Amino acid sequence: MRIGVFICHCGSNIAGTVDCASVAEQAAAFPDVVFSTDTLYACSEPGQDAIIEAIKEHRLTGVVVASCTPRMHEPTFRRAVERAGLNRYLFEMANIREHVSWIGKDMQANTNKSAELVRMAVAKLRLNTELKPKFFPVTKRVLVIGGGVAGIQAALDAADAGLEVVMVEREPSIGGKMAKLDKTFPTVDCSSCILGPRMVDVAQHPNITLHAASEVEAVSGYVGNFEVTIRKKSTCVDWSKCTGCGLCTEKCPAKKSYDRFNEGMGHTSAIVIPFPQAIPKKAGIEKEHCRLFRTGKCGVCAKICPTGAVDYAMRDQIVSVKVGGIVAATGYDLMDWTVYEEYGGGRYPDVITSLQYERLLSASGPTGGHVKRPSDGREPQSVVFIQCVGSRDCSVDRPYCSGFCCMYTAKQAILTKDHLPDSQSYVFYMDIRSPGKGYDEFTRRVQEEYRARYIRGRVSLVYPKGDKLMVRGADTLMGTQVEVEADLVVLAVGGEAARGAPHLAEKLRISYDAYGFFMEGHPKLKPVETNTAGVFLAGSCQGLKDIPSSVAQGSAAAAKVIGLLSRDMLESDPQIAQVNAGRCIGCGKCISVCPFKAIQETEARGLPKVEVIETVCQGCGVCNATCPQGAIQLSHFTDNQILAEVEALCRF
């Protein structure tokens, strides 16, 4: 092999702590290296051109680039060597930025380490072979998990582009958190007025199949051809018969049931249509509240239903569907704020969450839009908002900023004044975070026009005094203690990953961070991709974000899926297992460990052997590590290639 080595300075990112010229000089002496140089930015256009030039000029048959992580630019350089006529797998990278220059300051040690990493890369490259992808057909259908605003946007965009969309929503209606909001910032326009029509579009779009009250049970397969199992949870109402007339909800005797949609701010019936604009507008029984399920005596809804849709014996239903791509848009949940004992830990009825307050403000809410204290139904005069409850607080393991609370608190203060012109709002804040179009102006308006009093400081205690609540905190700008008498305290509770998000991530085989938010492929350049091909992210499941950002991500994820499924055939990664039939004894150990069932028995000249189903193999290499005689080898990560890397290190 004729190998060329390129040591990238990455400006000063690498060259600052690695002597790149020295590494290039050392590399020139490595076996099969015929050309070696250092370069300012290998990934830039002149950098790539120089590689292509060198391949031609020095008749290189293999290239090593020592630069950043291969997770960043391996595809870039593979394309570059391909442009010069080399097979893209005759290329190796040495990671001397993330793994060397950025983590050590000792120039001598870094230079030495870089040279060794290049030596490893050269040793492996000498055993690389040309690999060519195979092609396989794709299923032109996409699964959208989660029917909040991000999922709705992704679904509609994909459906408009002609793709079939399957949407799975855990709740009985789509709409997500946005459906619960009264108004949205910074325009203060009606949330359900802008979301409602989009929800109707989902219901009516010929390309969209909606499974509400359903969850993804299992996912198998791979990009282009996922097999998804969906559990449609029993609602005890046959939705093909239910017309959404609501007669059952009126006659249901269990009127004191917890109202989930209204965040417990009101009561509802045990058979319930979550809210008037629900999509689908179908009734469902909440078994824990239903008299029939609790006492065995009732059955009123079944008797009253004009279409006979109520079926108490209804069971969960399992459906499976094949899709080519998946968009996860599972959103967020509020963190459990009751860990804050200083705010009463949930014992004071007039300390409520911001989402509960939204329901009190909403005309379709339990109070019809009249702001009333939960304790006695009085209109509050003094309303205190406490920000950063469960955000930016290491003591409850929520060090991150939830991002949207500053803005919705400002909005709620404005709405409070609109609803109760004589009221006074107080906002305890840490910092006002309002980057965004028209956002900062909005937070000024609430203070200057609506006369909300903003107090910079944290609240240390909320305690009852008579029928009021006393809010004690610091005013760090004045350097004083303050105590405010409040009729109502609204906590701007931060968000966290949706309940069960890690569990779904495991099913989708995507990564998630310490807080359960799904990991994007790259924090800047792949914000809606994941590291699992064919799985994309939209909305707050990736990290908390407001409505405009969620919608933007929904569209972005849809664009990615549309791009993926616009092709009739996909390229399969050729880094898959290969069987050397001459060495295989057909013992079948590889078959038993393969996570993808990608290996099957076969026969050669009457002897038992195995073979790999090329489009099913995902290239994990478990089989390779299992085969005692090494008859099955993972291409590009063969035993010999890994051993060569080990030996390159151990020899010295």
Q: What is the C-alpha to C-alpha distance for residues 192 and 176, in angstroms, rounded to an integer?
A: 11
Q: Select the residue interacting with another protein from 1, 50, 69, 247 (CB under 8 A).
A: 69
Which of positions 592-621 make contact with another protein (CB under 8 A)? 592-593, 595-596, 618-621
Give the strands of the sheet with 480-486, arranged side by side: 459-465, 468-475, 480-486
Is 31 a binding residue for another protein by CB under 8 A? The answer is no
Is 196 a binding residue for another protein by CB under 8 A? The answer is no
Nearer to another protein, 139 or 626 (CB): 626
Q: Select the residue interacting with another protein from 58, 59, 105, 378 (CB under 8 A).
A: 105
* DSSP category for residue 457: S
Q: Select the residue interacting with another protein from 103, 461, 477, 478 (CB under 8 A).
A: 103
Q: Select the residue interacting with another protein from 104, 137, 276, 438 (CB under 8 A).
A: 104
Nearer to another protein, 100 or 414 (CB): 100
Smallest gap, in angstroms, from Cβ of residue 256 to another protein? Answer: 40
CB-neighbour burial class of residue 437 (10 A; exposed 0-12, middle 13-18, buried 19+)? exposed
Nearer to another protein, 196 or 619 (CB): 619
Alpha-carbon dihedral angle through residues 622, 628, 634, 639, given to the nearest 10 degrees: 120
Q: Select the residue interacting with another protein from 11, 28, 58, 109 (CB under 8 A).
A: 109
Is 622 a binding residue for another protein by CB under 8 A? The answer is yes
Q: Select the residue interacting with another protein from 261, 337, 512, 536 (CB under 8 A).
A: 512
Q: What is the C-alpha to C-alpha distance for residues 190 and 198, in angstroms, rounded to an integer?
A: 14
Is 106 a binding residue for another protein by CB under 8 A? The answer is yes
Which of positions 257-316 make contact with another protein (CB under 8 A)? none
Q: Select the residue interacting with another protein from 181, 309, 505, 538 (CB under 8 A).
A: 505
Q: What is the C-alpha to C-alpha distance for residues 91 and 77, in angstroms, rounded to an integer?
A: 8
Geometric angle at alpha carbon 177, from 172 and 179, rounded to 5°: 75
Q: Select the residue interacting with another protein from 56, 58, 59, 71 (CB under 8 A).
A: 71
Smallest gap, in angstroms, from Cβ of residue 85 to another protein? Answer: 26
Contact region with another protein (CB under 8 A), list: 54-62, 312-320, 471-479, 584-592: 584-592
Q: Which residue carries 């900062």 as its tokens?
A: 440
Smallest gap, in angstroms, from Cβ of residue 329 to another protein? Answer: 20
Is 102 a binding residue for another protein by CB under 8 A? The answer is yes
Contact region with another protein (CB under 8 A), list: 269-277, 512-520, 536-544, 548-556: 512-520
Contact region with another protein (CB under 8 A), list: 259-267, 405-413, 460-468, 511-519: 511-519
Nearer to another protein, 110 or 235 (CB): 110
Q: Select the residue interacting with another protein from 2, 25, 83, 99 (CB under 8 A).
A: 99
H, E, C per residue of 517-533? CECCCECCCECCECCCC
Smallest gap, in angstroms, from Cβ of residue 364 to another protein? Answer: 39
Nearer to another protein, 62 or 365 (CB): 62
Q: Select the residue interacting with another protein from 116, 217, 311, 440 (CB under 8 A).
A: 116
Q: What is the C-alpha to C-alpha distance for residues 543 and 539, in angstroms, rounded to an integer?
A: 7
Nearer to another protein, 246 or 586 (CB): 586
Q: Select the residue interacting with another protein from 3, 120, 302, 557 (CB under 8 A).
A: 120
Q: Select the residue interacting with another protein from 36, 110, 214, 412 (CB under 8 A).
A: 110
Q: Select the residue interacting with another protein from 260, 444, 583, 597 (CB under 8 A).
A: 583
Q: What is the C-alpha to C-alpha distance for residues 9 and 19, in angstroms, rounded to an integer?
A: 9
Smallest gap, in angstroms, from Cβ of residue 575 to another protein? Answer: 7
- For every residue of 251-307, DSSP letters joined together read H-S-TTEE-TTTTTSSEE-SEE-SSTT-SS---EE-TTT-HHHHHS---HHHHH-TT
Q: Are strands 284-285 and 271-272 parallel, antiparallel or unpaired?
A: antiparallel
Smallest gap, in angstroms, from Cβ of residue 116 to another protein? Answer: 6
Give, for 151, the enclosing helix (H) or strand (E): helix 149-160
Binding residues for another protein, rule CB under 8 A, total 74
Q: What is the C-alpha to C-alpha distance for residues 148 and 204, in angstroms, rounded to an integer?
A: 17
Q: What is the C-alpha to C-alpha distance for residues 238 and 302, in angstroms, rounded to an integer?
A: 11
Q: In whole angstroms, how far apart are CA 349 and each of 223, 265, 338, 420, 615?
A: 49, 10, 12, 20, 58
Geometric angle at alpha carbon 117, from 115 and 120, rounded to 5°: 110
Helix-strand-coil split of the chain, %, nearest 5? 30, 25, 45
44 CB neighbour count, 10 Å cutoff? 12
Q: What is the C-alpha to C-alpha distance for residues 234 and 214, in angstroms, rounded to an integer?
A: 9
Smallest gap, in angstroms, from Cβ of residue 41 to another protein? Answer: 18
Contact region with another protein (CB under 8 A), list: 110-118, 258-266, 283-291, 300-308: 110-118
Is 7 a binding residue for another protein by CB under 8 A? The answer is no
Which of positions 631-650 make contact with another protein (CB under 8 A)? 631, 633-634, 637-640, 642-643, 645-647, 649-650
Return the structure tokens found at 308: 């006979």
**Pair 489, 471: CB distance under 8 Å:** yes
